[in-house]
């Protein structure tokens, strides 16, 4: 680990102001700190945002569920409000990492990092989320731009994530046996106006699967998936799974998700 300055901000404005040069925000640090330790990343300053009041917490209305960016996975998993309005999201949070990660890691950190195999980005896409930042509102469709890349600008801080409350939804994850990140994760949501299906772990960035969305829009049942042909072109291939296997598992997970909706 290379040395860095550690600073704590008490409000968003201060946090943003502290970003200059090679500085970055620190929330749970579940990805950032290992990367620094392994010297894959080095920063002059880490700006701790965990002490900012108001960045953490869960608010529910009939139409939406809003989760503050420093809310931990454990808090989402245990939240009665989340369980009532979007139970699939609580289940997703319960399946992230291990207890240590869930108690430290945050939703804002997860989506700002945009790991290609992270769980939350698929929830954001499927649940038509809006990302509220220190500067603006960004729709999930525009937020996730590439591998470990988002539409966030330098010094822009995620403040909360607002999910649309769906009629039905479910997340089915086939974990990488080693890391237990998603080898394939499929989030299916039947929203008021549309059906959305988001897939994580399969390409360099989370994506919506139009073929599955089309099939489920006309018939929201697992049998509707049987005849969908998922092409493996452009899918990740690594020591854990070929592109072809991932394509197969997308269908299996999609069916599982729909069945448990």
Partner 1 sequence: MANLVGAKIERKEDKKFLTGKGRYTADINLPKQTYAYFVRSPHARAKITKLDHSKAMKAPGVIDVFTGDCVAKDKIGGLICGWKIVSQDGKDMKCPPHPVLAKDSVNFVGDHVAVVVAETLEQAKNAAELVNVSYKVQRAVTRTDEATKFENIHEGIDNNLSFDFLLGDKGKTDEAFSKADKIVKLDVVNNRLIPNAMEPRAAIGDYNTSSDELTLYTASQNPHLDRLIMSAFNAVHPEHKFRIVSPDVGGGFGSKINVYAEDVVVAYASKKIGRPVKWVAERSESFMSDNHGRDHVTHAELAVNNEGKITGIKVDTIANLGAYSLVLAAVTPTYLYAPLLLGIYDIPTACCTVKGVYTNTAPTDAYRGAGRPEATYVIERIVTEAAKEIGMDQAEFRKKNFIQKFPHQQCLVHNIDSGDYNAHLDKAIELADYKNFENRRSQSAKKGKLRGIGFSTYFEACGVAPSAVVMSIGSGVGLWESAEVRFNATGNVSVFTGAHSHGQSHDTTFAQIVGDKLGVAIENIDIVHGDTDKGPFGMGTYGSRSLAVGGTAIVNACDKIIAKGKKVAAKMLEGKPEDIDFKAGEFILKNSNKKKTIGEIAFACYLPGTFGDVNSPLPEGVEPGLIETSFFDPSNFSFPSGSHICEVEVDEETGETKLVKYTVVDDFGTVINPLIVEGQVYGGVAQGVGQALYENAHYDESGQLTSASYMDYTMPRADNFPQMTLDYTCTPATSNPLGAKGCGEAGTIAAPAAVMNAVIDAVGTDVQMPATAEKVWKALKKNGSKKAAA
- Residues lying near partner 1 in the complex (CB under 8 A): 1-3, 38-39, 174, 177-179, 181, 226, 238-242, 245, 248-249, 251-252
Residue 123 · residue 171 · CB < 8 Å: yes
Least separation in angstroms between CB 126 and partner 1:
21
Least separation in angstroms between CB 108 and partner 1:
22
CA distance 84 to 92: 14
Closest CB to partner 1 among residues 115, 164 = 115
Closest CB to partner 1 among residues 193, 239 = 239
Least separation in angstroms between CB 183 and partner 1:
9
Least separation in angstroms between CB 102 and partner 1:
15
Strand stretches in the chain, DSSP E: 5-8, 23-26, 45-48, 58-60, 64-68, 130-133, 137-139, 144-146, 149-150, 158-164, 168-175, 182-190, 195-200, 207-208
Measured between its terminal Cα atoms, the distance across the chain in Å is 45
Least separation in angstroms between CB 166 and partner 1:
26
Closest CB to partner 1 among residues 82, 230 = 230
As given in the structure block, the two tokens for residue 38 are 């392994």
CA distance 189 to 80: 20
CA distance 216 to 198: 13
CA 223, chain centre distance (Å): 27
Closest CB to partner 1 among residues 208, 240 = 240
Q: What are the strands of the beta sheet with 168-175, ordered from one edge?
A: 168-175, 182-190, 195-200, 207-208
Least separation in angstroms between CB 179 and partner 1:
4
Closest CB to partner 1 among residues 161, 197 = 197
Closest CB to partner 1 among residues 3, 218 = 3
């Amino acid at each position: 680990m290379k040395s860095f300055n550690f600073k704590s901000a008490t409000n968003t404005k201060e946090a943003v102001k502290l970003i200059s040069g090679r500085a970055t925000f620190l929330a749970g640090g579940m990805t950032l700190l290992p990367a620094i330790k392994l010297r894959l990343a080095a920063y002059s300053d880490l700006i701790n945002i965990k002490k900012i009041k108001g960045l953490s917490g869960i608010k529910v209305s009939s139409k939406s569920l809003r989760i503050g960016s420093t809310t931990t996975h454990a808090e989402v998993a245990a939240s009665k409000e989340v369980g009532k309005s979007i139970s699939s999201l609580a289940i997703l949070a319960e399946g992230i990492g291990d207890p240590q990660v869930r108690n430290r890691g945050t939703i804002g950190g997860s989506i700002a990092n945009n790991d290609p195999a992270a769980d939350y980005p698929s929830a954001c896409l499927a649940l038509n989320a809006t990302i509220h930042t220190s500067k603006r509102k960004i729709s999930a469709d525009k937020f996730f731009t590439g591998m470990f890349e988002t539409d966030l600008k330098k010094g822009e801080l995620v403040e909360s994530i607002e999910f649309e409350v769906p009629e039905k939804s479910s997340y089915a994850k086939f974990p990488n046996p080693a890391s237990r990140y998603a080898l394939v994760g499929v989030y299916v949501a039947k929203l008021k106006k549309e059906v959305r299906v988001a897939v994580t772990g399969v390409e360099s960035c989370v994506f919506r699967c139009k073929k599955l969305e089309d099939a489920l829009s006309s018939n929201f049942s697992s049998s509707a998936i049987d005849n969908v042909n998922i092409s493996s072109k452009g899918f990740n291939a690594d020591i854990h799974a070929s592109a072809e296997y991932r394509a197969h598992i997308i269908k299996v997970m999609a069916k599982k998700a729909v069945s448990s909706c």
